[in-house]
Structures are given as C-alpha cells and as structure tokens.
Amino acid sequence: MSETAHYTHGHHASVLSSHTWRTAENSAAYLLPHLRPGMTLLDVGCGPGTITADLAKLVSPGRVVALDYAEGILAQARATAAEQGVADRTEFVTGDVHALDFPDDTFDVVHAHQVLQHVGDPVRALAEMRRVCKPGGYVAARDGDYGGFFWYPENPGLEEWIRLYREVARANGGEPDGGRHLKAWAARAGFDRADIVASTSSWCYSTDAERAWWGSSWADRATKSEFARVAVEGGSATTEDLERIAQVWRDWAADEDGWLCLPHGEILCRKA
C-alpha cells in the first residue's frame, strides 16, 4: 500500500512557524524517560526536524534516521541537525510509513509526532512501525485531537473553523480526532493491549505572546496554506469564508481573556 491521504497543513511558513517551535520536551515528554544513549531511533514524519535533533542528542552516540514523505522539508531538517550539532549521526530519507524500507527489527525506538492523524491507513502505519522495531523496543506516537479543542470565550467563528478543519482533513483522507484513536489503532496493528500505555498531554495558549503567535499562525493558515486551497477547491468554503475565519483568529488573539487548549493522545507500545 502507498499513501492515499493528502497532508492537510502543507508546509507554508505559517505552518512551519508552529512546527519549528516543537521540541522533544514539549512534544514527546512521555517518551523521554525510555531513551538512553546508544539507541537506534526512527523518527517518522520528521518535518523540519526540531524534535528529531533533540532525540538525536538524547540517544547519542546512537543512530537516528529521520523520514518524511515530502522531499522538500528534509532540506530544513538537515539544516536543523547541522545547527544542533547532530548532523553526523542523523540520516534523512524520504519514505512512506505504510511501507517502510527497513528490515524487520531494525530500531530500538520508532517515533511519530502528529503523523497518524494525516495518513490514509494509521493501523497499517503502526503495523509497519512495529515491524521495524526491535523486540523489547518501543513504538511511540502522539497526535492532536481537533474534536477536543476548547477555548474561551465562546466564539461561533471558532466553532465554524473547527467544523471546517475537520471536514477538510477527512476529505483529505485523514482523521483529525486521531488522538483518541491511538490506543485502538495500536491494538489493531498487532500490539498486545497489556503492552500499550496510553496517556494525554496538551498545549495551552493564553499569554499575550502565545495568543499573538497562535492566532496569527492560524489566521494565515486559514487563507494562505494548503488547508485554504483544499477548502476552496473542494467546495467546503469560499475565500470570503476563510477571510472571516482569519479575522476571528485575530480577534481571539487580541482578547486579553483569550485561552485555548489543544489536547493530544499518546501511546507508548512495547514490542514483545
């Protein structure tokens, strides 16, 4: 099987401003206690590579392979690795998580952050991640859950946005509420339920700086990113709808009482 879903966000600057903010600490804390020097690690869907670079430091001198479906983003990931001093022990490759080009039992850890919600067959993806993981190793995944977003104050415009985002993501072949599905997907992928540890964590945006950053990012995504193009071309929204949603995000960011929580599901699966 090859990838059938279309990545909803794309790699517009407004998207990458969020992706490059991610670190192992703020995005993979559930995994960190299980890492140790000398491990081999596969980072699936590495994007611009900020989490990858942190993971490479934690398993040094172990080998890290960073994989992404989009060739273009790997140049930025390579630059990140060079800046962080881990380029000599990090390999970057293109590939499809549904058909990983590695032998069975290759890696001590296989990690994917915000990936499974965007792929066409997350169960097949997890089965492949399990296949290339060594016995006794770990498969780790964390995904947002858009159906669980909540904010203050109540805002009909943000309700419209979340409805539209979930519609577009599903039209692209993904599951925007992926976080809540991870445990079930892992069991269907072949992991014994006793070997699956499910958890949750969240990002919260409330300070003036956080609201300005998150609000402006989503205002731009609403009108300039791949999400915007697909929403219009697929008939889910008009350009006027998207401009209105962008303004909703700016208004939320300007509100001193504004607050938003983005929940995530997490799984840490041990391969027997």
Q: What is the 3-state secondary structure (H, E, C) of 183-212?
A: HHHHHHCCCCHHHEEEEEEEEEECCHHHHH
The answer to whether 57 touches 90, Cβ cutoff 8 Å, is no
Q: List, for residues 160-175, the tens digit of each pLDDT value.
A: 999 999 999 999 999 9
- Which pLDDT value is given to residue 175? 97
Instruction: pLDDT band for 16, please (50, 70, 90 cuts).
Output: low
pLDDT in tens, 121-173: 999 999 999 999 999 999 999 999 999 999 999 999 999 999 999 999 999 99
Tens digits of residue pLDDT in 191-236: 999 999 999 999 999 999 999 999 999 999 999 988 999 999 999 9
Residue 168 exposure: Cα atoms within 13 Å on the Cβ side: 28
Residue 11 has pLDDT above 80, yes or no: no
Q: What is the pTM of this model?
A: 0.94
